[in-house]
Amino acid sequence: MTSPTSPPKLDKYSKENPWYYKDLTSHLAHDSRKLLEEYSHIPPEDIDAHVYKMRNVLWTHAPYPCIGEFKFLTLNLPKHPKYTHLLSLLQPSPAALGPYLLDLGCCVAQELRSLAHAGIPSTNLFGSDLNPSYLTTSYQLFNDASTFHGTLVPANIFSPTLFDSAFKGWEKKFKVVHAGLFLHLFNREQQVDVCERIVKLLREEVGSLFLGEMVGCAGGGERGPKASKFWGKGEERRQFLHDEDSFAKLWEHVAEVTGTKGKWKVESRFKERANGEGDGNGGSKGCAFFTGEGIGWITFSAERVE
């Protein structure tokens, strides 16, 4: 008698993975189309073909689920509860340089392009991503090589020489640090490490702000490797997903280890995803990579209050 066998895991570059969406129709939000039309000056009738073409280019560089699901064009910041406050923080002052914003794990820096379109000087906008090709390809995606003057830097946030190399001169530089669809890639210990570095990047003054959004999970906790293959050999990892309580505890621990306990106002909103419901960002009918009971969407912020 033979035992049933599991279907073979797909190579992460395979376009048969469930997170490689074949149809763009329901996965590109109105605000993303508007950005490509108004900021990038792409004719409306050409947008779909342009997005398909650029998605295939990005997929060959690094086939993350956010690429397959067209989330590299999703604009989460304008939907964040702190967005209006964020815009006020980023208004330039004639008396000083900045204020500056850093987008960690910025992918193709779509949020930075959205901020530039909203009137924030692009010279005050910084982005970093592990994949240099995402950053270089972003100029072709947004058709702005001659008009976007932000700083895009490839970097590994865990590098022991980060502040002596890619982030040299960036300590205490930023009024705002944003991390979208980023922290949920790591386990809790790694998240603490990332957040310690974020505190180091932020200005030591009232109003400095860390904010973002990510996939969350009711009750908080680690999720193991998925049945479908994504991580390569030796890469499979456990990822810690948060709800309001677990994120508050994470930042409480970060404040303790950075000597900033009592200096932050922490807020978050978690919404569990119902069956068939989107991830809360308005640009997708669902997330094929993160699935299971209790999965949802969390927005968060930690603002310096003293």
pLDDT digits (tens, 9 = 90+) for 264-306: 999 999 999 876 454 444 433 345 556 677 899 999 999 999 9
What CATH superfamily classification does 30-304 receive? Answer: Vaccinia Virus protein VP39 (3.40.50.150)
Give me the half-sphere count of Cα atoms (radius 13 Å) on the Cβ side of residue 116. 23
Q: Is the preceding omega at residue 99 within 30 degrees of 0, hence cis?
A: yes
* Pairing between β-strand 221-223 and β-strand 239-241 as defined by DSSP bridges: antiparallel
Contact between 238 and 187 under an 8 Å Cβ cutoff? The reply is: yes
> Considering the entire predicted model, what is its pTM?
0.89
pLDDT band, residue 43 (cuts 50/70/90): very high
Calpha distance 126→151 (Å, rounded): 5
Tokens 């304008």 sit on residue: 78
Calpha distance 158→168 (Å, rounded): 14
What are the DSSP E strand ranges found in the chain? 101-104, 125-129, 151-154, 176-180, 209-217, 221-223, 239-241, 264-272, 295-304
pLDDT at 9: 59
pLDDT at 286: 46
Mean pLDDT of the chain: 89
CA-CA distances (angstroms) from residue 234 to 184, 190, 206, 230, 237? 19, 17, 42, 11, 9
Calpha distance 13→35 (Å, rounded): 28
pLDDT digits (tens, 9 = 90+) for 95-148: 889 999 999 999 999 999 999 999 999 999 999 999 999 999 999 999 999 999
Calpha distance 37→45 (Å, rounded): 10
Token readout for 20 is: 């490689």
Strand partners, 296: 216, 272
Instruction: Give the residue among 104, 103, 109, 90 at the shortest CA–CA distance from 148.
Output: 109
Tell whether the torsion through CA atoms of 168, 173, 154 and 303 is positive or negative.
positive
CA-CA distances (angstroms) from residue 19 to 12, 65, 129? 10, 6, 21
What are the backbone angles phi and psi of residue 266, rounded to the nearest 5°? Answer: -110, 130
Q: To the nearest whole percent, how much of the chain has pLDDT over 70?
A: 87
In the chain, where are the structural domains located?
Answer: 30-304
**Which residues have C-beta within 8 Å of that of residue 84, sequence separation ≥ 6?**
none
Tokens 């906790």 sit on residue: 221
3 state SS of 128: strand
